[in-house]
Amino acid sequence: MNIFIKNIAEETCLCEALIIPVTESSADIRKGLPAQIAKHVNKNHLNSFSGKQNEILMIPAPSDIKPKRILLVGLGKKDSVTADKIRQAGGKTAVYLREAGIKSMALSTGLISSLKMSPAEFAEGAVLGLYTFTKYKTENKAKHIKSLTILSKSSHDIKEKLKFAKINADAVCFARDLINNPSNDMTPKDLASAALTLRTKKLTVKVLEKKDVQKLGMGAYLAVASGSCEPSKFIVLQYKGGKGAPVVLIGKSITFDSGGISLKPADGMEKMKYDMAGGAAVLGVLKAASELKMPVNLIGILPATENLPSGSAVKPGDIVRTMNGKTVEIVNTDAEGRLILADAIEYAKRFKPKAIIDIATLTGACSITFGNEAIAMMGNNNELKQQITESGDKTSERVWEMPLFEEYKDYIKSDIADIKNSGGRNGSLLTSAYFLYVFAGQTPWVHLDIAGTAWTEKDKPYVPKGATGIGTRLILDLIKELK
């Protein structure tokens, strides 16, 4: 979809549908419309439309104005309009118009600017909401909207915000594509190829093969990879856009999690292709940061592998040595995420980072706790956690802090090794994070568990069913604000 900015009056805009956001009102809704339009709108048309959030009404436009149709979309009560409600309106209307076969839409921005909000939020919601994954449909009858015209003065501020929104939303869609692909088409090698497509002068990509990580002593990561015939790929991206110590982003990249010898039940196992959603989010962030030429230094690490059972797979009770020297008793091969992340965190330290953020579909307990509504956050640095919380509120990729009580250390004590990879079901959201904490040590570090939010079973206003691409918008906002 092309997005334009045009400084013309609503009634002179040649488009199939003119979108006019309105706030909720029990009085005459026409009062909220641009005068030139309001005088043409018949009261009967409005019916019971009252401008409730995401309520939509499409009416034919009078013949003496250029738009063919007028679409009213509700933003809810005037004093409680948020950026997210505007994004939702963008997603809702775009999908509604697409399904109605419309190709060109325009947005009236009077109300949005009078509320001191940006039409860029609307555009972001539209791009995110219009996402589809149709690659495997042989009869693809998908409809497409070709253009969104934003009716506004084309100021520097609007242009910049729009550019950010577009690149940001495209990066989310890029991540969603990677996740939605089935694991037979998204192997560690495929993920490495996707990373390699991001290469530029300032963004370099290095792929460590098995022999390389063997030399580094990544015994925990190698143990997870040992069951699969697909070669593991330890993917490292480096974006140099500024000065100073980098932020390292680590994304869990299990391209399929069967559980390994501690096999998962068959029911729902097909969903475990999304166990690389953390890695996809990291690629999304790196892609957007480099397209936006952000003045920051970033490292992205994707320890990619499948987790499968086989004659060569790691077995419950096996003990491995991690890159940092600690030994781990693998009591459950399905707790594989923390194993690959442990070695990735140790590897990250060589960059002397100012912060490490890992993002992972780490525990079923995370979705049991929060359902689809929040990312669980744990970490050792209050300032960083505070900043991530703020970005979460701004982007509506909400995070909720959970504790790292010292007592959790006992849960993962092993009788014969330094530590074990699972403390059982009790507190597993916290003990999995504690396991990572043991490896992060004093380096400022935050862990984000996205197991509950990386996938949605139902359509949301700007998140269609399937992979959500969560984490990309959150972390991009964070690094934009990080000083």
Contacting range for Zn ion; rule: CB under 5 A; set: 21-29, 92-100, 124-132, 247-255:
247-255
Binding mask 342-381 for ligand BES (x = CB under 6 A): -------------------xxxxx-x--------------
For Zn ion, the closer CB: 107 or 191: 191
332 binds, options Zn ion, Mn ion, ligand BES, none, Cβ within 5 to 8 A by partner type:
ligand BES
Residue with tokens 């579909």: 361
Binding mask 272-311 for ligand BES (x = CB under 6 A): ---x------------------------------------
**Residue numbers 307-336 binding ligand BES by CB under 6 A:** 332, 334-336
Contacting range for Mn ion; rule: CB under 5 A; set: 74-82, 160-168, 215-223, 253-261:
253-261
364 binds, options Zn ion, Mn ion, ligand BES, none, Cβ within 5 to 8 A by partner type:
ligand BES
Smallest distance from Mn ion to CB 275, Å: 7
For Mn ion, the closer CB: 121 or 334: 334
Of the residues 121, 170, 230, 257, which one makes contact with Mn ion according to CB under 5 A: 257
Distance CA 120, CA 283 (A): 23
Name the active-site residue from 338, 398, 420, 473. 338
The CA-based angle 428-339-279, given to 5 degrees, is 95
In contact, 324 and 221? CB cutoff 8 Å: no
In contact, 399 and 370? CB cutoff 8 Å: no
When asked if residue 334 is in the footprint of Mn ion (CB under 5 A), the reply is yes
Smallest distance from Zn ion to CB 256, Å: 9
φ/ψ (deg, to 5) at 426: -60, 120
In contact, 277 and 326? CB cutoff 8 Å: no
Contacting range for Zn ion; rule: CB under 5 A; set: 152-160, 248-256, 347-355, 471-479:
248-256
451 binds, options Mn ion, Zn ion, ligand BES, none, Cβ within 5 to 8 A by partner type:
ligand BES
**Residue numbers 309-338 binding Zn ion by CB under 5 A:** 337
For ligand BES, the closer CB: 124 or 257: 257
Contacts of 24 (CB under 8 A, 6+ apart): 50, 51, 52, 53, 74, 75, 76, 77, 78
- Total residues contacting Mn ion (rule CB under 5 A)? 3
Q: Is 227 helix (H, G, I), strand (E, B) or coil?
A: coil
**Residue numbers 249-278 binding Zn ion by CB under 5 A:** 254, 257, 275
User: Given the DSSP bridges, would you call strands 2-6 and 17-22 parallel, antiparallel or unpaired?
Assistant: unpaired
Position with the least CB separation from Zn ion: 257
Rounded alpha-carbon distances, angstroms, from residue 157 to 117, 152, 408, 479: 12, 12, 48, 19
Contacts of 263 (CB under 8 A, 6+ apart): 309, 334
Name the active-site residue from 77, 210, 264, 460. 264
In contact, 273 and 183? CB cutoff 8 Å: yes
Distance CA 195, CA 382 (A): 31
For ligand BES, the closer CB: 230 or 334: 334
**Residue numbers 428-447 binding ligand BES by CB under 6 A:** 428
Contacts of 380 (CB under 8 A, 6+ apart): 404, 437, 440, 442, 444, 445, 446
φ/ψ (deg, to 5) at 49: -60, 125
Of the residues 88, 183, 253, 422, which one makes contact with ligand BES according to CB under 6 A: 422
Is 30 a known active-site residue? no
Of the residues 21, 219, 337, 392, which one makes contact with ligand BES according to CB under 6 A: 337
Is 264 a known active-site residue? yes
- Helix (H) or strand (E) run with residue 298 in it: strand 297-307
φ/ψ (deg, to 5) at 386: -60, -45
Provide the 10 A C-beta neighbour count for residue 150.
Answer: 22
Q: Is 147 helix (H, G, I), strand (E, B) or coil?
A: strand
Q: Tell me the H-state helices in 100-234.
A: 110-114, 119-129, 156-180, 188-196, 210-216, 219-225
Binding mask 230-269 for ligand BES (x = CB under 6 A): ---------------------------x------------
152 binds, options Mn ion, ligand BES, Zn ion, none, Cβ within 5 to 8 A by partner type:
none
Contacts of 243 (CB under 8 A, 6+ apart): 297
For ligand BES, the closer CB: 196 or 263: 263
Of the residues 286, 412, 451, 467, which one makes contact with ligand BES according to CB under 6 A: 451
Chain contacts with Zn ion (rule: CB under 5 A):
254, 257, 275, 337
List, by residue number, the catalytic residues.
264, 338
Chain contacts with ligand BES (rule: CB under 6 A):
257, 275, 332, 334-337, 361-365, 367, 422, 428, 451
